[in-house]
A and B are shown apart, each in its own frame.
Chain A
Amino acid sequence: MNNVWRDTWLTFERQMRLSLRNPIWVALGLIQPLMYLALFGPLLKPVVANTPGLPPGDEWQVFAPGLLVQLGLFGAAFVGFGLVAEYRAGVIERQRVSPASRVSLLAGRVLRDVVVIVVQTLLLLAAAVPFGLRAPIAGVLLSLLIVAGLGAAFASLSYGCALLLKSEDALAPLLNGLAMPLLLLSGILLPMSLAPGWLRRLSDVNPLKHTVDATRSFFTGDLTSSAALWGSLATIGLVAVSLWFGARTFRRESA
């Protein structure tokens, strides 16, 4: 009667319906990357033109991939707050006493977040075209996959932490503390190839840095570079670890 796929779909459907009732949040989530696009992007043209050591591509091919990864990170990292609210309302407990698969309760929520992030990414890309973004379609599609993976990974991490802590007050510093160094060490705004040696080595252990490099490579049409390969592997690894952590937390008896 119950199976993981059906329960995941039911959970997704419910969460999506609740999200669509307040589409304003989807729009608000886009405001930050759009502001970067409009108010920060134009600054980059002279920087990219005059700085040695940058990856190939024009300023938008360097910058837009960073914004995409940022959307994947920040669009998903804070979804745990919604879960704390659901927990407080008794919804999580009510679903956990049903025969539904507990992993599905996570998977359905993560799926909703991935769909929202992919839609936001498409809107962001469309907005970047008038600014001058030009990129091969295959590279853009692969980048979308990467962003979807990041969304799944960070949503899952965020939900797992939320279910462990069950408190906004504890969750906020934890998520901020994780997201900020990940962001700064990823080269989202400026490529890490500009960094001094010690900073670059530090950034090498950040999977997001490799993800950003891969996305930049995709945007210049180089789908098989070593950056593309390593970045894709880093993303897959991140997704695997995060989903495992989330699933383990949701299955825990007393969580």
Chain B
Amino acid sequence: MIHARALSRTFTTRTGPVEAVRGVDLDVERGEIVGFLGPNGAGKTTTLRMLTTLLTPTSGQATVAGHDLIRDPIGVRRNIGYVAQGGVTLPEAIAGEECVDQARLYGLGKSAAAARGKELFDQLDLGGLWERKCSSLSGGQRRRLDIVIGLMHSPGLVFLDEPTTGLDPQSRANLWNHIGGLRDELGSTVFITTHYLDEADHLCDRLLVIDHGQIVASGTKEELKAGVGGDAVIVTLADPARTPDASGVMATLPGADEPVVGDGQITVHVPEGGGLLPRLLRELDAKGVELAGVEVRRPTLDDVFLSLTGRSLRDEPAA
């Protein structure tokens, strides 16, 4: 659905050229939900604006939804939906009219557009709000309306820019269901930029991480998490005096790193913590080491992010 090669964009500023995106390669296949992660200023938005024809690349090429980005931007525009971060509706406009107006720019007739819009309203739980002023809708409703507007022409590929920023937790969870539905029920390919790791974790089949204008990692969540050194296995001993014995056992687990002792706990990282737990317990039991507790902690995307970019995504101010 998206194949980009060496996509670059340099901005000219008063203080000299700024390379916002420096040779991005990325591929998104049909039917995928791909998350595009990166701290502020990493080149996320610039890449997105290039892929949606809002910005011309300085160099590089891309095929988006089957059309060449440079030679056939109109072809790209016909086949993609784009839901911008800050919303897309005029407060004083009527919800249904916003949908119909947008669809008609894609060549749909008035009645076909209204039928399509009402169908999407039902699918995204907006039933009964067709005649309402956009300003009278709640934040979550307005965000779903934005998505409806982006879907009016049935695009095969949808770009969602920070879809849940500014929503309350309930609305976010609700929107996640709908975004999952875009693929599962409508067969769309979805490209999401997000700040929220839980969002990426929950929604996306595959993640791309961008930093300093370049893709620094891509893969499934599991692949990326495995890349940070595996799961942490944390044991708390009933008798701290047995620490050397316990450490010795833990160090012999396959793929284990050097056990770290602290706070009355011993921590070791292994590739598959859950699978090794029975063996660890058996061996500790055989040595007569009594446990007060044991915990396996899976790496989070935040760990991934930290190891890839040296920065925590959570530290970044909201865009």
Which residues on A are within 8 Å of B, measured CB to CB?
1-2, 7, 10, 14, 17-18, 21-22, 85-86, 88-91, 93-100, 253-254
Contacts and interface: CB of A to CB of B under 8 A. Distances in A.
B149 A94 contact: yes
Nearest to A17: B97
A100 B153 CA distance: 13
Contacts of B91: 89
Contact of B82 (A17, A97, A99): A97
Contacts of A253: 54-56
Interface residues of B, number: 29
29 contacts: A2-B74, A2-B105, A10-B101, A14-B101, A17-B97, A18-B90, A18-B93, A21-B92, A88-B86, A89-B86, A90-B87, A90-B88, A91-B88, A91-B90, A93-B54, A93-B82, A93-B84, A94-B82, A94-B149, A95-B105, A97-B52, A98-B77, A99-B74, A99-B77, A99-B105, A99-B107, A253-B55, A254-B54, A254-B55
B55 A90 contact: no
Contacts of A2: 74, 105, 107
B104 interface: yes
Given A1-B107, A98-B77, 5 more contacts: A89-B90, A93-B88, A97-B54, A99-B105, A254-B55
Interface in B100-142: 101-102, 104-107
B53 interface: yes
Contacts of A91: 88-90
A110 to B, nearest CB: 17
Contacts of B146: 90
Nearest to A98: B105
Contacts of A7: 105
B105 A90 contact: no
A95 B54 CA distance: 11
Contact of A97 (B77, B89, B93, B97): B77
